Each structure stands twice: as structure tokens, then as C-alpha cells.
Structure 1
Amino acid sequence: MRKIALPTVIIISSLVFIIRFFYLQVIDDSLKLKSENNAIKKIFDFPERGYIYDRNGKLLVANQPSYDIMVVPREIKNIDTLEFCKLLHISKADFIRKVKKATVYSPMLPSVFLAQLNKAEYAAFQEKERKFEGFYAQKRSLRDYQVKDCANIFGFITQVNDAILKNNEYYNSGDLIGKQGVEQEYEEILRGIKGVKYLLRDKHNKIIGPYKNGEFDTISQQGNDLTLTIDHELQKYGTDLMINKRGGIVAIEPKTGEILTLVSAPTFDPAMLVGRQRSKNYTALYNDSISKPLYDRGLQATYPPGSPFKIITGLIGLQEGVINEQSTFYCNHGANFGRFMGCHCGLHTLQLNNGIYKSCNSYFGNTYKRTIEKYKNSFYSVDNWSKHVKSFGLGQYLGTDMPIGAKGLVPTSKLYKKMYKGAPIRSSYIISNAIGQGEILTSPMQLANMMATVANRGYYYTPHIVKNIKNQKLDKKFTTRHNTTIDKQYFEPVIQGLEDVYNNGTGSGFRVEGIKICGKTGTAENKIRVGGKTYQLKDHSIFVAFAPRDNPKIAIAVFIENSGYGATWAGPIATLMIEKYINGKISRTDLEERMLKGSLAPEYKKIENIIYQRFPDRSSEKDSALSSVEAQVGEAKKEEEND
């Protein structure tokens, strides 16, 4: 039996191998197609990227034809290099460098020699293409921007780099990929699917027809369209208001978390990053490390939130039972908490309502003091306070559908244990947290989300910038409700105080008749460090708001760098944005004219002079001149941010 079994196994195994080899070599052509077979030429058909629309159906981004000159280094034979270079307006040194680069990638596979020719340039090359063996034109599509703003939202298209080529089989050398913005975040949806044609060549390298009658050819599929949550009319208005200013505007629809506006200033025309000038323009934008047009201040910039944080201080005080609506504190132009914390209230006895609309440091300093001193264990008190704050989305990556963002900072006991070497935390040490100074850092996106949460009386949806994807559903995380640790009942008295900011308080100078706006002004202390020396600069202007009070349609945060009081710049801009969105027109034309024509360029020039005096050669060291909070936080704060 054993004598029969062994030969049987050998015979069967041999037959299996023979059949498999026959199938792979004769029947199945897939391996042949994957190989670098000289007789088969693979031509890709690149799809159009999906179009991008705003929430009202306005077309924002379309496509335009473009042509790349491709090269297969091994096929270059007997060409007139000088004529070729003259035709494409490049030098012979450029020619040699580009061919070498293509050869390193692969001498037998096509790669991009010269990208993004326009129609006229392509027509000139096409006329003489037959003379340049080894080169051919590949049609692609580039973005065609229908608007001159939204650059920070769109991102841009660029060629894939070596790292992407190694890690993603979809892309070949010279392929285009989305970078930054929705182009990057939704790349796989927008890019579509490449088509491919296999062409057969004879021994003279001439195309003689499709391989196997096109049996393996595929058709390209256009990318899916995106509808953004952005209201472009509002976005453009915000961009206009921010001319000659630096900062960010973020507006959110509270009941959905949809981002209505994401303005970063200064900005640039997205068309600058299309075509053969893209690289030159990008380098110029990237090297502008003073105004930083590529830096999205709405998402990436973090600042002390200033007085708007008093909203959170008050809500936590109510939730913890350390204050109620009738609780009173005396203000003598501020209060002494181990060090004097001044404000502009004058001599008053304040309760919650006028404490909010007068923005009283004494009231909220005392509220915070009671919150921290409620529990005997000061470490627990700080962590309990931190838990409440973080439930509003502060101190964390919100999880928006943009590829960038800042975590900000909400301190915990871990930070203070390092700062104070494990000693108990006294409220007087950290009292600045009460008024949004101290160690707290927030982004404009986080502040807008905070106000959406207050508008909703205690919950929010993850902010997102895509409203609809053709043929697909949105990620369910954008429809998942996040509840705060504050009971709903405590929001109404705080909201009344925010409405009275416009009725009786710091926002009364820019009221709009017919709209109940709830808002809060703020200023944030501002310093820069240049060459180891600290300079005190003009404060940042902040304003947060939502409207209308009942059934809110918009929540907004405006942050204007180096512009002083919140009521001077940020408040009026926020109010104009709200009126524009709700009413579709502006009644406060006096306010509008002042904001549109107003310029902070002289203030920014002062900062540039400080930096350039220290770094006259404009070296990269000037990037160390960044806004900062108290220097003593040091490395401990960095570790907290990374947790």
C-alpha cells in the first residue's frame, strides 16, 4: 500500500504544478501585464477629480485640462536636445537633471519630465512630438477655481513624493494627490479611479494596436463630488472683513456642527498653486514666516481665550454649587487673590448676570477660587475642573474632517505637580485660569464649538466641513451627540447674561435691531520672545457669540491678532457676520465701512521691525518669535500638550 501511495502523491503534486504553470504562463496574462514587457505599453487614463460645491449649490472648484510631458529614459534615441529644450523653454542642464531623476525612478517605466503644460504649450510640443522618441504627452486635469478665497479650506494638488510611491500602490511617479484641506482629507473620494489601456508594439517599438483587443483595458471613473457645509457668500464676506488683519473667523451651525465659515487671514488666491508656477508660488508663501498665509489660524493657532472663558467658569460654578444666580461678590476695580487681578467694573457688588455683561474679574476670580477650594484634595479639584472644561471640546483634538488642527491646552494636576514640585495647588497660584489667561490655550475652532455648545444648552456635534458626498454617507461621528458635564438648567442664566452683553454691556455699541445676539468680548495678553527677550505687544481682540437666542442658527468666534479690546475689532466683525447670515443684508453700514476699511498693518509692521532688528538676515531663527503664555510653564506644559 505504501509503495502505491508515495508515487501517487508525487504524480498528483507534479500534475498540480504543471497545470498551475500552464495557467500562469499561457492562460493568465495578469503577470505579463504587471511585468515590464517591452512589447506592451501601458497608458493611463486619468479621471477628473470630483467637483466641490458650497452648501447652497454654488460651484467652487471644477477642473481644467492639462498636459504632462512623460519620459521613458531607455527609449530616448537620437533626439535634438537643443531643439527640445527650446521648444519647452528649459535649459540643457534642466534636461539632463530631469532625465537622470526619471532614470533613478525607472529606466523602463514612464515618469513626468515636465508637468502641467497649458493648451498652447502642449500644441507646440504635439506638432513635433514624433521627433522626440522616448517622450510623449499625457493628458490630466488640474483644478479650476471658481472663487478667489477658501484656499485654506480647499488645499491644493501636487505630485506624489517618493514616500507615497513606496507606501501606496495606487500612485505612479508624476501622479497628482491632494495636499492639505479637503483635497487631502477626501483624496480617495475626489481622485476617482484611473483607467488603463494596454497597447502592443512591434519590434521597431511602434504601436500596432490594443493588446488582446482591449480585453484588459479599463475605463476611468470620475471622482465623487463634494458639497461643503461652507456658505460661500458668508465666507467671502468674512475674508473681505479680514483684509489687512491677521486672525481667524470660525462659524458653526449649532444644531448640526456644520462649519459655515472658516476664514484665516492673511490668505491667498488658490489659483496660485495651479500650473507651472505652482512650485515658485508655494515656496514664496511658505517662506513668508511673518504673515504665514499657509498657516490656518482658525484651526492651528492657539491663544489664551481671555474673557470668553468666563462663560465656562460661571457654568462650572453653578454645576458645582459654589454659586447661584443671586451670589454676590464685591469689585473694587478688580480683586486681590494674592496678586491683584484688575478689571474695568469700577466699584460694584455683582451677581452672575451683571458679572457676565460687565466681564468682572472679581466675580469670576471668586467663583473659580470657590470651585478649586471646594474639595480638600487640590489635585482632585483641578482635575474635576479640567473634566468640566474638556466636556466642551476644549483641550482636545475635536476630530474635524480637516487634516490639521491644534489640541490647545486645559491644564490638569499633572502639569501643576511638575510646576510646583508636588506641593498642594493653591487657588491663588492658578487664579488666572478663571479669566482665560493662565495656562489655558484654545483655537478659534474650539471657541466657536464652545459657543455652539452653549447655544445648544449643553451638547455639540463634531464640527465638520463636508455636508454631502455623492454616492456615499458621512461618517457617523459627525452625527453623534456629545454632552457636557453641565446640567441644562444652568445654561439659561448664563445665556441671559450673554444677551445682556449687547443690551447693557461691552457689546452695546454694535447692537443690531431685530436679532437677539448672545456674545462675549475678550482680550488676550500677547507677548513674543525674540532672541531670548520677551516683548509685550498689543493684546489680541476676541469675540464669541451665537444668534438668535432661541433656536440658534449660527455660533461664531472671531480672533484678531494685536488689535486691542474685543469690542474694537472682533465684536463688530462677529456682529456683521451674524447679521449677514441671518438677514442676508447689513443694516449697520457704518460698522461695515469701518471694518472693511480698517487696517492693522501699522501694528504688524512694529512686530516685523522687532524681529528683523534681531535677525536682519531674515534667517529661520526668527520663527522662534511666537506668541506664548507665561514662560514658567516651560517643559511641563509641553508634556501636558502631548498627553
Structure 2
Amino acid sequence: MKKRSLLFPLLVIITGFIFVARLFFLQIVHHDSNEISLSGSAIKRIYTYPERGFVYDRNGKLLVANEQTYDVKVIPNEVKAFDTIEFCSLLKIDKKYLITKLDRARNYSPWLPSVFLSQLSKEDYAYLQEKIHKYKGFSIQRKSLRKYPHKSAANILGYINEVNEYLAKKNPYYEQGELVGTQGIEKEYEDILRGTKGVSYKLRNRLNKVIGPYKEGIYDTLPQPGEDISLTIDLDLQAYGELLMSNKRGGIVAIEPNTGEILALVTAPSYDPNLMVGRERSKNSVMLFNDSINKPMLDRGLQAAYAPGSPFKLVEGLIGLQENVITPNTGFYCHHGYRYGNKATNFMGCHCGITGRAIDLRLGIAKSCNSYFSNVYKLLLEKYDTSQESLTHWAEHLRSFGLGDFLGYDLPIGTKGFIPSADYYDKVYPRKTWRYTTTISNAIGQGEIVTTPIQLANMIAAIANRGYYFTPHVLKKINGNPIDIEKFTTKKQTTIDAKNFEPVIEGMFDVYQNGTAKHVQIKDIDICGKTGTVQNYIRKNGVKYELADHSIFVAFAPKDNPKIALAIFVENGGFGSTIAAPIASLMIEKYLKGTSTSLKWWEDRIINTSLEAEYKKQLSIQLLEKSQN
């Protein structure tokens, strides 16, 4: 009986303890943990969007700024009956647009806000603000849009897009209609540039009317603006390169060898970055992306893949020296070309013009002798027991220069290029009987080898540094503080000993002194370079259509303590000495002297040279094939 009399008080005590513990959790633990249940409709979140960080070039010139704009947002379940005619008139839309956007917003979420109409002008905003209270469920949200003071570097800067439903569900930070970096540095450094949204929490009653701040606003936060960044790009050099590439297709990549900083990343044709901002953005975007002829959204400096041509002979010579199959003084004869194999048709022509005497490495580079480097390739492919083993060593040397793979630069697009491996040729030739005669085109940078302009520029930077390079990159400072990112400050060594670079560099110097670029020397600047001309044709339905060759040039300057290394590709530009070489000299003088006056005649000629006729010819061949099919 006594035990029963104690049971009831014990139950009361236990129950009381449970209630106290629960209240302690709700009032103290849960409160202090800063956790807010936002899954229901009792709390309304109102975001305040920060300004994105500004973007500057290496010299402090403003590349990207902000300007204020206004979005009309809607929460479908809060919309009440309203005068649609007046509303459409205020926003300058039709009723079909109104219905479509409301349906889309409802499908996204009946309770969450989404963008109904973006980017109101200041005038429209001022007029609408006075009447927005009449339209329940609609509100006006201020935000910043990008503004571009210059028409250059669109491919580097990228653009921002409105967050779509897919991204909003994938990443809880974003809501549909917000802005997010979509390409270029806007995408790569989104977390730095975007800042942090401010948010205020409002409490609603059972009728969904806001009745005040949630918990007196203790969880509300202010927006934190994005951080400013400075790029490694020299705006003046970038704009000058774009001018020189007018009415042409191709790319220019310039790198500072001792840092890996990208000084210019030119693609042609390009576009005005302001086209990707404002109410006309959607229409302009469709136009740019659907331009399958000019492809302005293709960054040819990073994405276009070409055979490297004669600039590849530089690394061919370096590998020959490293593998001890040649010395700087090893000589080979050229009889207007190189004959290989047993067939009479196995002949690679050469235009070096040197006969009757042996050609050494330095002269072979200066005169771009095909015979010389074909002989080097033969020795390399026959050094080890099998062609497979020999080519594996050859390919390893090439990959140490960053060829055949992504370089790790800080832009979100690119192409790997291709350096053929022994496994590749074993698959092409299953009997595995291939040898140097099968792959001899590799000797002069054609065959199966594919590179991008940035890879060739990086290769030249490694040569300028006598054996190492830094990962190319475009980020220089964050909020005025120089970056200290290990990925960009660590030397990457090639497999070539430093001593082997000197004879190759002397040969590149001779290219300007008495070789294929002597006509575009710059007074007081010692430039080392190499021309390239890559055969170009289209084979359609068994018919081979010859097109103008691609014009290529690589260079660095000055010869000692180099400040700039660059690669130029001009599609269908002809000989490397006719267009690409003058562009290289003009770019080098522009960067090192701040002006380009030594080659004024060449400058005018290059700017006024249009290759549109050649591109139309290429297009007509492609259209002919479509009509035949």
C-alpha cells in the first residue's frame, strides 16, 4: 500500500522533469544553436543581395563594375485578384506573358518568391514603386548587374546568369532568379565575387500576413559585399591583340614566364561583354551561341585544337639533346626534303633552301628545316629496343612541358590536346609493326599531335625559363592582396636539363636575325621566335579540298631575363611569317615599350587584313556537302 502511495508522486516528478528538460532544450539549447526551422510557412525570408566584387586588370584599370537594377518578384499563393490590364501596362508586358510567368512561378513553388520580371529601368521602378502595394504577392527586389567599361576580354571575364530551377534545387544557397557566375572568372571565382546575402526573418500569422520580425530580428544579417579581384591581364595588351585579330579567326596567348601570369588571352572573333547584360541578354545570348559560323563563344586560345607545326621542332630538338642522340653540332644534309622508307612517294618536302652542306641544330631551327628534325625523330624512335619503348620516352618528355593535358589554369573551359602514345599506335596498327616511318609527320608537329594556343605559349615560357614553368593563371590579387596559392607559385620542372636549352634558344634568336622573322625585328629588343605553317584542308566524301594554311608563331623576349612569352594562331592565315610573326613582334613591343611604333606599316597591314573570303570558301564547301547528303 505504501509503495502505491509513492507511485503517483513519482510519476508527477518524472513528467515534470521531462517537461522542464524539453523547455530547456527549446528555450536554451535550440535557441543558442542558431537553428531556425524554415520548412513551414510561418516564417518568411527576405533577402538583401550584396554587390559583386569589382574586377581590375594588373595595372588597376576597371574591367567590371556594377549598376543597380530592380526585379519584380512574386509569391503565387499570396497573389489576390487585381487589375491585370493596369498591371500589364505598368510593366509593359502582355497578358500572355503574365499568365505564363505566374504558371511558371507556381510550378517552381507556390510559397517561395521567384522572379516575375527582371531588370526594370530606374524610371519604371520609380513609377511602379508607388503602386506595388495594390498588387498582393508582388514585390520589388533591388540587385546589381554587371557593367563593362571596355569591350575587351569577354572570354576571360565571362558573364552571370539567373539561377534556374535545377541549380536552385541542387545548391541550397541560391534561389531561382538570383545571379550566379556562369563562365570565365565570374564562374571560377564565384565564391569570392558574390559576397554573402543578407536575410531578415518575418513571422506570419495563420492568414499568412507578416506580423513582425521573427524573435525580434536576432537572426537577421546584413549583406556582405563580394571581394574585389585584380587579374593578371594587361587591358591595353589585350585590346591591342583583339584589334590585330580583326576579321580573323584564331587566338593569342601571352604569359609572363617567371610567374605564369597570363598577360593576354585573345580569341577571335569575340563579342562585347555588355551584350550579356540587360533586358536584351536572352536574345543576344541566343544569337551568339547559335552563330555556328564565327563561333564567338568559343575561346580559341583555350579550346581550339591545332597541329602545332614547326614550333614543335623546338621541343623535338630539346628531346634529341636530352636523349643524347644529337649534339648542338650534329649535322644533317637536306636535299629539298627528307626521303624515308622504301617507296618513292615517301618524301617530305622542305623549303629551308640549304643544300650542299650539313645543317646543325641552330641553323635547322632558324631555317625550319624539315629534313633536320626528321632525322632527329628517326634517331629518337630507334634509340631503344622497340618503337613502343622509344615513343614512350619521347611522349614523357613532351608531357613534362604540359602538352597533351589540361594545364590546370584557373578558367573553367579548355581542351586537352593530344600527344600520341605507344598504346595509341598499337591500336591503330594491331600488328604492332609501326616504326618511325609510320609516324614521321610527328617530327614537324603534324601527324597526330594536337595542341592549344595556351599549351604552346606555356611551352615557350618553359623554354624561356630554361626548363621550368608556373601554372598559367589569371588571378593576381584579392582585395589588393597578392595571391599565395601553391598551385600557381610552385615551379614545374621539365625533363630537359637546363644546359640543353641554350642551343635551341640561340636558334630561336637567329630566326629574328637571319631566319624566317628577320623582316619583323624590333630595335633594341632581342626576340627569340619560331614560325609555323600548318597544312589545312577539308576532306568531304572522298574529295580533298585544299584551304589556306594556318599561320603560327611562338616567341619570347627579351632573350635574357624574359618578360613575355606568347603563341599566335591565325586560322587560314598562310605562312607563319606573313601574319602571325608580325603580330608577335607588335605585341612584344606594345608590352615592353608601351607603344608599337617600329612596325607601323606592318601594324596597318595586319589590322586591315581580312580573311573573311577564305572563311566563306570553307563554309561553302561545308554547305556543299550538306546539300549532297
TM-score category by the smaller chain?
over 0.9
The partner residue of 1:365 within 365, 371, 374 is: 374
The partner residue of 1:42 within 41, 45, 50 is: 45
User: Partner of 2:56 in structure 1?
Assistant: 53
Q: For 1:440, what is the secondary structure of its paired residue?
A: coil
Q: Is the 8 A contact 1:299 1:443 kept in 2?
A: yes
How far did 1:395 drift?
Answer: 0.4
The partner residue of 1:608 within 612, 619, 627 is: 619
Flag the 1:89–1:502 CA change in 2: closer, same or farther, 3 A.
same
Task: From the CA coordinates, give the structure whose radius of gyration is larger.
Answer: 2
How far did 1:208 drift?
Answer: 4.9
User: Partner of 2:319 in structure 1?
Assistant: 316
* More divergent stretch after superposition (19-28 vs 348-357): 19-28
User: Partner of 1:19 in structure 2?
Assistant: 21
Q: For 1:414, what is the secondary structure of its paired residue?
A: helix
* More divergent stretch after superposition (357-366 vs 524-533): 524-533
Q: Deviations over 1:352-382 (max 9, x none)?
A: 1110010000000000100111112211101
Residue type of the partner of 1:374? Answer: K
Q: For 1:432, what is the secondary structure of its paired residue?
A: helix
Q: Deviations over 1:584-611 (max 9, x none)?
A: 1112111111111111111111122222
Runs of 5+ unmatched residues, structure 2: 1-5
How far did 1:93 drift?
Answer: 1.6
User: Partner of 1:237 in structure 2?
Assistant: 240
Flag the 1:10–1:144 CA change in 2: closer, same or farther, 3 A.
farther
Flag the 1:428–1:183 CA change in 2: closer, same or farther, 3 A.
same
Q: Deviations over 1:249-292 (max 9, x none)?
A: 00000000000000000011100000111111000000001110
Does 2:552 align with 1:555?
Answer: no
User: Partner of 1:164 in structure 2?
Assistant: 167
Residue type of the partner of 1:391? Answer: S
Between the aligned partners of 2:35 and 2:24, the Cα distance in structure 1 is 13
Q: Is the 8 A contact 2:476 2:483 kept in 1?
A: no
The partner residue of 2:402 within 393, 397, 422 is: 393
* More divergent stretch after superposition (356-365 vs 74-83): 74-83
How far did 1:536 drift?
Answer: 2.7
Q: Is the 8 A contact 1:249 1:264 kept in 2?
A: yes
Question: Percent identity among equivalent residues?
Answer: 56
Between the aligned partners of 2:271 and 2:13, the Cα distance in structure 1 is 72
Q: Deviations over 1:513-533 (max 9, x none)?
A: 110000000011223355776
Between the aligned partners of 1:531 and 1:36, the Cα distance in structure 2 is 64
The partner residue of 2:193 within 183, 190, 195 is: 190
Q: Deviations over 1:288-329 (max 9, x none)?
A: 011100000000011000000000110000111111111111
Q: For 1:415, what is the secondary structure of its paired residue?
A: helix
Between the aligned partners of 1:151 and 1:238, the Cα distance in structure 2 is 13
Does 2:484 align with 1:484?
Answer: no
The partner residue of 1:128 within 120, 126, 131 is: 131
Flag the 1:98–1:449 CA change in 2: closer, same or farther, 3 A.
same
Residue type of the partner of 2:351? Answer: H
User: Partner of 1:636 in structure 2?
Assistant: none
* More divergent stretch after superposition (78-87 vs 525-534): 525-534
Between the aligned partners of 2:302 and 2:526, the Cα distance in structure 1 is 28
Q: Is the 8 A contact 1:36 1:108 kept in 2?
A: no
Between the aligned partners of 1:42 and 1:409, the Cα distance in structure 2 is 51
How far did 1:616 drift?
Answer: 6.5
Residue type of the partner of 1:265? Answer: A
How far did 1:28 drift?
Answer: 4.2
How far did 1:142 drift?
Answer: 0.5
Between the aligned partners of 1:98 and 1:480, the Cα distance in structure 2 is 51
User: Partner of 1:337 in structure 2?
Assistant: 340
User: Partner of 1:494 in structure 2?
Assistant: 504
The partner residue of 1:181 within 155, 179, 184 is: 184
Between the aligned partners of 2:261 and 2:482, the Cα distance in structure 1 is 17
The partner residue of 1:66 within 60, 69, 85 is: 69
Residue type of the partner of 2:535? Answer: E
Flag the 1:14–1:554 CA change in 2: closer, same or farther, 3 A.
farther
Between the aligned partners of 2:280 and 2:270, the Cα distance in structure 1 is 18
Residue type of the partner of 1:412? Answer: S
Flag the 1:490–1:9 CA change in 2: closer, same or farther, 3 A.
farther
Does 2:155 align with 1:152?
Answer: yes
Does 2:461 align with 1:452?
Answer: yes
Q: For 1:34, what is the secondary structure of its paired residue?
A: coil
Between the aligned partners of 2:401 and 2:610, the Cα distance in structure 1 is 34
The partner residue of 1:252 within 255, 271, 279 is: 255
Between the aligned partners of 1:20 and 1:497, the Cα distance in structure 2 is 83
Residue type of the partner of 1:354? Answer: L
Residue type of the partner of 1:542? Answer: I
User: Partner of 1:428 in structure 2?
Assistant: 437
Residue type of the partner of 2:39? Answer: S
Does 2:219 align with 1:216?
Answer: yes
Q: Is the 8 A contact 1:393 1:449 kept in 2?
A: yes
User: 1:460-475 to 2 correspondence within 5 Å?
Assistant: 460-470=469-479, 473-475=483-485
Q: For 1:307, what is the secondary structure of its paired residue?
A: coil
User: Partner of 2:553 in structure 1?
Assistant: 543
User: 1:267-416 to 2 correspondence within 5 Å?
Assistant: 267-338=270-341, 339-348=346-355, 349-416=358-425
Q: For 2:438, what is the secondary structure of its paired residue?
A: helix
Q: Deviations over 1:204-246 (max 9, x none)?
A: 7655543333221101000111110000010010011111010
User: 1:612-623 to 2 correspondence within 5 Å?
Assistant: 612-615=623-626
Q: Is the 8 A contact 1:416 1:422 kept in 2?
A: no
Q: How many residues align?
A: 613
Q: For 1:345, what is the secondary structure of its paired residue?
A: coil
How far did 1:12 drift?
Answer: 7.2
Does 2:413 align with 1:437?
Answer: no
How far did 1:156 drift?
Answer: 0.3
Flag the 1:17–1:610 CA change in 2: closer, same or farther, 3 A.
farther
Flag the 1:252–1:569 CA change in 2: closer, same or farther, 3 A.
same
Q: Deviations over 1:529-557 (max 9, x none)?
A: 55776533211100000000000000000
Flag the 1:334–1:283 CA change in 2: closer, same or farther, 3 A.
same
Q: Is the 8 A contact 1:337 1:428 kept in 2?
A: yes
Q: Is the 8 A contact 2:476 2:482 kept in 1?
A: no
Residue type of the partner of 1:118? Answer: S
Q: For 2:336, what is the secondary structure of its paired residue?
A: strand
After TM superposition, where is structure 1 displaced by more than 6 Å over at least 4 residues in a row? 7-14
Q: Is the 8 A contact 2:246 2:268 kept in 1?
A: yes
User: Partner of 1:570 in structure 2?
Assistant: 580
Between the aligned partners of 1:343 and 1:17, the Cα distance in structure 2 is 94
Q: Is the 8 A contact 1:519 1:544 kept in 2?
A: yes
The partner residue of 2:427 within 398, 403, 418 is: 418
How far did 1:100 drift?
Answer: 1.1
How far did 1:35 drift?
Answer: 3.0
How far did 1:73 drift?
Answer: 0.1
Flag the 1:494–1:92 CA change in 2: closer, same or farther, 3 A.
same
Q: For 2:333, what is the secondary structure of its paired residue?
A: strand
User: Partner of 2:3 in structure 1?
Assistant: none
Q: Deviations over 1:55-80 (max 9, x none)?
A: 01111111000111100000110111
Flag the 1:309–1:15 CA change in 2: closer, same or farther, 3 A.
farther
Q: For 1:233, what is the secondary structure of its paired residue?
A: helix
Q: Is the 8 A contact 1:526 1:562 kept in 2?
A: yes
Flag the 1:31–1:484 CA change in 2: closer, same or farther, 3 A.
closer
Flag the 1:462–1:337 CA change in 2: closer, same or farther, 3 A.
same
Between the aligned partners of 1:526 and 1:127, the Cα distance in structure 2 is 64
The two structures, once aligned, show a CA RMSD in angstroms of 2.4
Does 2:620 align with 1:597?
Answer: no
